[in-house]
Amino acid sequence: MRRHDLVWLDPQAPWQVLTAGADARLRAWAQARLPFVVARRDRASDEHQVRFGVPLPLAEHRQRLSLRVAPSAVLRCAPPPPLAEVAADIGPAWRERLHGLVTVTASLPVAPRVFGSAAWQHLTGLPYLHDDSDLDLLFEVADTQHADQIVAVLQHHERQHPLRLDGELRFPGDRAINWREYASGAKRVMVKGNDACWLVPREALAAWKVAA
């Protein structure tokens, strides 16, 4: 399981709640067959368990809940939903915003997936989005050439449309970089892995490629 993956948990499984007072809400969430998201592991404390989170909808002030549980409690696991799937289901106002983005990203070697508020609204049917919400996109990139192509498309789209695009470029080895930070040309960039974050020199990215 990787960061941003979605899981459905056994509501009867033993787990450790990491948000005070949230056990009943988390149990109700699991019983409703709603997904949890894989969070970054803490190697010092998680041991053989996996850390999951739930961002609650607008009506519950977007509170973030988290827990740890054994992998055996996972009933199903799936990647974040594709952009085209979210756009088709998100409602008229946001569908209009996303239509052009679906079209321009169709030319890319890999389709973007969606995490964040838009994904949660799509997955749960609960209200997460507001007028100023960003759209969080996840791209699986093969190398820096692929990343450069994606960034060029996103920058061009933002110049033509008011919707702010956020998200990550995930390189081989589950090493993710915020696309804006990558696009900035910074000499060092923050990398987010499944269990750690670290800074790397930009020139190191050239070696991150899918194995031939």
* Active-site annotation holds for 46: no
Domain boundary (63, 78, 93) is at 78
User: pLDDT for 33-57, tens place per residue?
Assistant: 999 999 998 877 777 899 999 999 9
* Per-residue confidence (pLDDT) for residue 43, from 0 to 100: 75
Is a pLDDT exceeding 90 seen at residue 127? yes
Task: Indicate which residue of 134, 166, 174, 195 is catalytic.
Answer: 134
* Domain ranges, residue 53: 6-78
| Domain limit, last residue, from 78, 101, 126 | 78
Asked, for residue 212, whether it belongs to a domain, the answer is: no
131 is catalytic: no
Last residue of a domain, one of 53, 78, 103: 78
Question: What's the pTM?
Answer: 0.94
pLDDT tops 70 at residue 212: no
Q: Do residues 22 and 122 share a domain? A: no
Kindly report which listed range (26-35, 52-61, 89-98, 173-182) carries the lowest average pLDDT score.
89-98
Count of structural domains within the chain: 2
If asked whether residues 99 and 190 sit together in one domain, one would say yes
Over residues 105-118, the pLDDT tens digits come to 998 989 999 999 99
> Are both 144 and 45 inside the same structural domain?
no
* Residue at 98 is within a domain: yes
Structural domain contains residue 58: yes
- Predicted local confidence at residue 211, as pLDDT: 67
The answer to whether residue 1 is domain-embedded is no
Query: Do residues 110 and 142 share a domain?
Result: yes
| Residue 56 and residue 134 in one domain | no
> Are residues 115 and 39 in contact, defined by beta-carbon separation less than 8 angstroms?
no
Mean of the per-residue pLDDT values of the chain: 94
Same domain flag for 105 and 131: yes
